[in-house]
Amino acid sequence: MLENGDPNLRAYLAEAVSIFLGHYLNLDIPFVHRKSNSIRIFLMKHRFDMDVPPGIRKNFGTLDYTFKEIKSKSEFWISLVERYRLHRYQRINLNRDVFETFLSGKIPDVTSFFEVSAGKPIKEIPLCEMFAICKKLIFVTQLANDIERTVEKGKINIKIRHQFSEEIAIEKLVELISKLFQAAGYVFEVRTVSNLIIIEFADIC
């Protein structure tokens, strides 16, 4: 049981301790009970051939891979963390091919990110799932500050907040997002207000 303290630190310690127990004591985690101020980890004996037991992977993800990457390229990751921290996370993280497409003045096709995340073709991804993956994409790339979904007058609105000031940059971001939802087959209208992009859909998910 881990109680009180910072929630993010508590979650991090719970995962780190669980991975340690799995690696060195042949223990797995069949169940985790999370509360607002505590995490209770249930343990059981388990012999396995994997690096990380299945229960730990299911309940805590794959932070073990992160540890290994940091250890193998510590100078790079420490420098990257420092840069993100010093710039208050106002940095853009893009794949080389996506960045190259932007440099050429075109709009990159990132539908593969959505299809891999959903495990199906983009035209089969429900609007609710599209929103969740879009939120993940924005979090990973830092292309925008926040994204939220609201329902107003029977229509779904997706609101994307960003910090771009150049009109061309905002237009490119609108094109990128529009291209995604068009590829998924959704009908929508887009409007911009200051640092807000509003996408209005007719369908309720």
What per-residue confidence (pLDDT) applies to 62?
60
Which residues in the chain belong to E strands, given as ranges?
2-3, 27-35, 38-45, 146-152, 155-161, 188-193, 196-201
Query: What token pair was written down for 153?
Result: 């007058």
pTM: 0.66
- Per-residue pLDDT tens for 37-72? 888 988 888 766 556 667 776 777 666 667 778 888
Euclidean distance between CA atoms 168 and 202, whole angstroms: 27
Q: How buried is residue 199: exposed, middle or buried, by Cβ count under 10 Å (0-12/13-18/19+)?
A: buried
- Per-residue pLDDT tens for 160-204? 999 999 999 999 999 999 999 999 999 999 999 989 999 999 755
Residue type, 90: Q
Q: How remote is the C-alpha of 147 from its chain's centroid?
A: 12
Euclidean distance between CA atoms 193 and 101, whole angstroms: 27
Query: What token pair was written down for 147?
Result: 């994204």
